[in-house]
Every structure is written in C-alpha cells, then in structure tokens.
Amino acid sequence: MSKRIISLSILFLKLIKTLTSYSSRPSWTTLRTIPSLMNSEGIPLLGIPNHPNWLTFAREPCSTNDSLRVIIYINIRLSSLCFSLRKDIINHYDILLASFFNNSIVYWIMNIYSDSLHSASKYLKDTEVNILNLLIMTSDFNIRDSIWDPSFPHHPAISDDLMTIADSFNLDLSFSTYCVPTRYSDIVGESNLVIDLMFLRSSSTELNNYLVYPDWHFSSDHVPLMVSIAIDEENIDSFRFSIVKNSEEEVSFIKEVIHTIKSVDISDISNPIKLEETINSLTSKIEYAWRMNSKRVNIMKHSKSWWNKECRCALNEYRGSRNLENWKRFKSTVKTMKQSFFNTKIQEIVNKKQGPWELMS
C-alpha cells in the first residue's frame, strides 16, 4: 500500500482556480451550429467549452439568452475523489458548492460571483448552512475595501457581512503575495480594482498566500488567482473487491439488496434513534451481501476493463492443453470481448451527446 499527497487541480472561472486553483470570467461562446428547419445554415448552440481532461460543474442556464457566471472545472486525474455539485445544500444561480471525498472524509469547495447588488453574499448571510471542512471560497465579490485594496480609503458595511460569512465557514481572508489589482478596466480614467478574493481554511499551515497573474488576463478584464492546497494523505490500495458486470455474482448481489430493502421495517422511523438503527442495519446487510458476492482483485496499471470470465476460461483452456486451436480460440474470444466492450463505450458517449474528442482516448 503506497501513499501520496494530493494537490487539488481545480479551475474556478467566475467561471477555476487550480486546488492548484485559479479565476477568470466564463468563456461563453458558440460551440457549434444545430440543424434547423427555419435556418438552412443552422442555429448556434451557445455554451461553455468542454475538454476531455476536465470535468465541468455548472448550473443549467435559465433561458437561451442567459449565460453562466460561475463554473468549476475539475481535472480528471481527481475524478477518483468523487466530486459532486451540491445544489441540495446551496441553491443559488451564482454560487457553486462542490464536495469530494478523501479517506472517507468529505471536503468542500465554493465558487461565488456576487453582483453589484451583492445578491450571493446576502443569500449566504440569510441561509443557515452547516458545512465542515470547506477548503476554499473564492471568486468575484464586487466589494472594494481598504482591507484588501490600499488604494481604496473606505470600509463598507457589506465587508463585515462577508467576513461574518467566512467566519461561519471557518475561513480566513487570504492575501495575495503581491498587492496588485485583480480587475483591469479598458475605460480611460477608470481605476483598476481588487474585487476578486480568496478565503481559505482557518489556522491551516498548508495554505499559503495565493498568487495573482496580471499578465494572464488577455481578453478578460479579470486576472487569474492561483493557490495550491495539499489535502490529506491518500492511501492507494494495491487491491480492491469487485463484482464482474453481468455476472452471476452481480445478479445475486442485486437480488439480495432488493430483498434487504423490501424487508426494512419502516413502522417507527419517525423516532430518530430507531431511524439510525434501521439505517445501520440496512448498511450492514448490504455490506455483507457485497462481501459474499465480490472477489479480491489486484490493481495493476495493465488491468484491462474488457477482460471477463469468457477470456479467463479460454486462456485457462489453452494453458492446460498448449494446443494451437485453443490458442486461436482464445485470441478470437479476446477480439470479440474487446469489440463488444468498446462498442458499448462508444454508444455511451453517443447517447450522452458528448463531443467527438471523448472518443480519442
């Protein structure tokens, strides 16, 4: 069993920041044209660019004329941490709250755009949310204050509200290594501002001041902010327990789970203690069913997802006989299983309406 320190690679873009973490405006553009009965040239499909190496977390636009103001990109190398967008906890168009797991502990990240009316900040102030292990809250807060912008002489009351929100999440305001503006104006005579902020977990020795890259804003009026956050050590197992898809063991496991769920006693779950006992009992029975039907397999970098029972039987038959015909039968079985596996994968990608680049790997 080996260990490694994970550095989160996340992009918050007012649309990401790398966890390494970084920030800028969303890129809302025409992705492609859609065939139309009304227009021979098709109609434009607006959206955010996707990339096969990044997972995208965003809310659905309210209308076709609407554009997103906050988006999170997660590098696919972190997909094993099971990131999830949690609209069930914070449901606001300009706030994205995402959770992930590391060593069975849930952590959180938050990306915010608070407009000139401070809508998102006011929403958080008026909403009771109990979140532990929030690592970072960041993006454009549209607040000028002498605390983080020496060129601005005032301290507005909304800043106190923001600090109260951060404190409720056990976060501290982080300061950039170099005190430079984060929002640059193209209008002559209009000053550059410091309105993109980063709040990081309090009393954490791993979190350092973030970096600002004023030369990287290009066509955007906001510059990237970047911070690297090392999270807990992750144990990397050399083996795992698995059930082969479409196997007899899978059928048996599903039947046992269905039977367990049907037999749950829900006559007195209004009692919190009884409810917890019922959930614990259900969990134990499902875990037992998993242990009885799964088998231990070694994790290797050359593990093949398409390998199944038919391949194993054909290989064992050849090894027992060393017969040329059995070798040909084994190779034919492998070819058939590969073709079936990858055809299924292609259909999954087509049905999800993802881009053709998804097929490259």
pLDDT score for 25: 47
CA-CA distance, 13 to 135, in Å (whole number)? Answer: 17
Lowest mean pLDDT, pick from 66-70, 87-91, 96-100, 320-324? 66-70
Sign of the C-alpha dihedral computed for residues 165, 83, 58 and 88 taken in this order: negative
Answer yes or no: is pLDDT of 118 > 80.
yes
pLDDT score for 40: 79
Answer yes or no: is pLDDT of 137 > 80.
yes
Say whether pTM exceeds 0.75. Answer: no
Answer yes or no: is pLDDT of 160 > 90.
yes
Candidates 94, 76, 70; CA nearest to 16 is 70
Lowest mean pLDDT, pick from 65-69, 172-176, 253-257, 352-356? 352-356
Higher pLDDT, 240 or 19: 240
pLDDT band for position 133 (50/70/90)?
confident
Sign of the C-alpha dihedral computed for residues 37, 40, 44 and 49 taken in this order: positive
Domains and CATH numbers, the chain: 2-236 (3.60.10.10), 239-359 (no CATH)
pLDDT score for 73: 85
Determine the 3-state secondary structure of 295 from DSSP: strand
Lowest mean pLDDT, pick from 21-30, 63-72, 99-108? 21-30
> Which residues, other chains included, contact 40 with Cβ-Cβ below 8 Å and sequence gap of 6+?
none
Q: Are 129 and 116 in contact (CB under 8 A)?
A: no
Average pLDDT in the 53-68 region?
74
Candidates 27, 34, 33; CA nearest to 56 is 27
Q: What is the pLDDT of residues 272-297, one digit of tens each?
A: 888 888 888 899 999 999 988 888 77
Average pLDDT in the 15-43 region?
60
Q: What is the pLDDT of residues 328-346, one digit of tens each?
A: 998 999 899 888 888 887 8
Lowest mean pLDDT, pick from 15-19, 120-124, 139-143, 209-213? 15-19
Instruction: Supply the mean pLDDT for the chain.
Output: 79
Residue linked to tokens 């914070």: 90
pLDDT score for 19: 43
Answer yes or no: is pLDDT of 143 > 80.
yes
